[in-house]
Chains A and B, each alone.
Chain A
Amino acid sequence: MSCDDVARDLEAYVDRELDADSIAAIRSHIGACASCRQRVAEREALGRLVRSVPYRVAPDRLRARVVADVERRRSLYQWIAWATAAVLIVSLGAAIIFVRSATVRSDALVADLVDSHVRSLLADHLFDVQSTDQHTVKPWFLGKLDFSPPVIDLTPTGFPLVGGRLDYLSGRPIAALIYQRQKHTINVFVWPASNQGSAPRERAIRGFNVRHWVHDGMSFWAVSDLNEAELNEFVRAFQMAPA
């Protein structure tokens, strides 16, 4: 240990930041070196001198101010917590009402679709264009709608396309594609989807089965008196078929 080493570790030594080995090394050096002993003694004297200046404690009025501040803020935070809880409860209520009204709206939509299906059978207005050829049906919609519904012939899977029709629902014209299974008629209503999948996928209403799906931004609703299994088969065939 040299005098330079002592100079380097001087602060750490007087501040007791050194490990035991370094402390021992410095002790043995200053035992033999008067000038380093002097340096250390000065530093220690300086420390004692500084510590002789009285510590200034916080005045009582400051303590009182801080405590009062904390109390005031604590009640403010409590108020904020209550207000937050109230806002949460109100939003939750609003969310429930919103979801329920959405359900009511989708119930109304399904009822309208079934009505439309029934009307198409009653009034002898099943087709606007009667064709089993998808290449006849699809162009027919051009100029009548602001979208082009996918028209797929499902004859190979036992659901022949029989025609297309313009329909009107919720204030907009929509496409209806008509398919046949033996004596059963399937109406597939198509329009651009406005929101994704909030409506239920499967419904049954007044003996009619309703299936709903969304694909490529289009909302599809299949309505028929066909039994559930066969209607599901139709939906699968429709979804699997190349457009």
Chain B
Amino acid sequence: MPSRGFEEVVLPHLDAAYNYARWLTRNDAEAEDVVQDACVRAMRFLPSLRDDDARPWLLAIVRNVWYSRAARRAGSPERLPFETATYDPPDRAPDPEARLLQQQSVGQVREALEQLPPDFREVVVLREFEEMSYKAIASVIGVPIGTVMSRLARARDRLSALLRSGPLPMERCR
């Protein structure tokens, strides 16, 4: 039966699927649609899961659904222009700035995270909220582990810059 075990295998990760989709879409209704589509696909592909961990598998499906919806809607989803987006990490901050970093409100942090390009945003979300290993993150987004690490480094540099200085002009224009 194609649907056997869906409740045991997929449903426990519904929150993870929604949280990830919500960060990708930045929109409640769209996140719900993405998750629902992903669950339908997950049900269909469940027999191919075998004994692997279901969470990265489900999140990879969520990601695919989101990308294909975004591609349908806009030609292609906003992607990080890796070639052009050269970014200089900020100088090492002295103590006062580190304290400033910690005075950010939850709202500001969320906003900064939402301003990150999706390729950066998703590695931070998968690492910090889902507490996934680099290996699991690599399997969700389909890149080598080394890429996960370098992307996390750049995403965090970018995020701390945003939190220190407010939105970058480039982000505002988008």
On A, residues with C-beta under 8 Å from B are 10-12, 15, 17, 35, 38-39, 41-43, 45-59, 61-63, 65-67, 69-70, 73-74, 77-78, 81
10 residue pairs, one from A and one from B, having the closest CB atoms: A58-B18, A74-B3, A57-B15, A50-B128, A58-B14, A66-B39, A62-B32, A56-B19, A56-B22, A11-B152
Do most interface residues of chain A lie in helix, strand or loop, or is the interface mixed?
A: helix
Q: Judge whether B159 and A46 touch: CB under 8 Å.
A: yes
Q: How far is the CA of A47 from the CA of B149 in the complex (A)?
A: 15
**Shortest Cβ distance from A39 into B: residue:** B92
Binary CB contact string for chain B from 84 to 128 against chain A (1 if under 8 A, 0 otherwise): 000000001111001001101010011001000000000010011
Within 8 A of A (CB), among B1-23: 1-3, 6-7, 11, 14-15, 17-19, 22
Q: Assess the A46–B36 pair: CB atoms within 8 A.
A: no
The reply on B60 being an interface residue by CB < 8 A is no
Chain A residues with CB below 8 A from B28, complex form: 59
Complex Cα distance, B93 from A128, in Å, reads 113
Cβ of B153 within 8 Å of any chain A Cβ, yes or no, is yes
Q: Does any Cβ of A come within 8 Å of B133's Cβ?
A: yes
- Given A45-B98, A49-B102: A77 and B15 within 8 A (CB)? no
Instruction: Jot down 16 A-B pairs with beta carbons below 8 A, ordered by A.
Output: A15-B127, A38-B94, A45-B101, A46-B156, A46-B163, A49-B109, A55-B129, A56-B19, A57-B19, A66-B35, A69-B39, A70-B39, A73-B43, A74-B3, A77-B1, A81-B1
Interface size of B in residues (CB-CB distance below 8 Å) = 44
A15, A65, A77, A78: which contacts B36 (Cβ < 8 A)?
Answer: A65
What's the A-B contact tally at a CB cutoff of 8 Å? 110
Contact of A73 among B40, B93, B95, B133 (CB under 8 A): B40
A49 touches B19 (CB 8 A): no
CA distance A52 to B43 in the complex (A): 33
CB distance from A118 to the nearest CB of B (A): 62
- A12–B28 alpha-carbon span in the complex (Å): 32
Instruction: Give the contacting residue for B15; candidates A41, A58, A61, A67; CB below 8 A.
Output: A58
Q: Which residue of B lies closest to A42 (CB)?
A: B98
State whether A11 and B35 are in contact (beta carbons under 8 Å apart), knowing that A38-B93, A57-B15, A74-B3 are contacts in the complex: no
A109 → chain B closest CB, angstroms: 48
User: With the chains together, A41 CA to B92 CA distance in Å?
Assistant: 11
- Asked if B139 CB lies within 8 Å of chain A CBs, one says no
A78 to B1, CA, bound (A): 8
Q: Which residue of chain B has the shortest Cβ distance to A48 in the bound complex?
A: B102
> Given contacts A38-B92, A42-B93, could you give 8 more A-B pairs where the C-beta distance is less than 8 Å?
A15-B134, A17-B133, A43-B156, A55-B15, A56-B19, A62-B18, A67-B11, A69-B40
Residues from chain A with a CB closer than 8 A to the CB of B101 are 42, 45-46, 49
B residues within 8 A CB of A78? 1
Q: Which residues of A contact B106 (CB under 8 A)?
A: 52-54
Q: Are B160 and A46 in contact (CB under 8 A)?
A: yes
A41 to B97, CA, bound (A): 12
The complex places the Cα of A46 from the Cα of B108 at a distance, in Å, of 13
- Please tell me if the beta carbons of B35 and A58 are within 8 angstroms of each other in the complex: yes
Q: Is the CB of A38 within 8 A of B124?
A: no
Known A38-B92, A58-B35, A66-B14; judge A49-B153 contact (CB<8 A): no
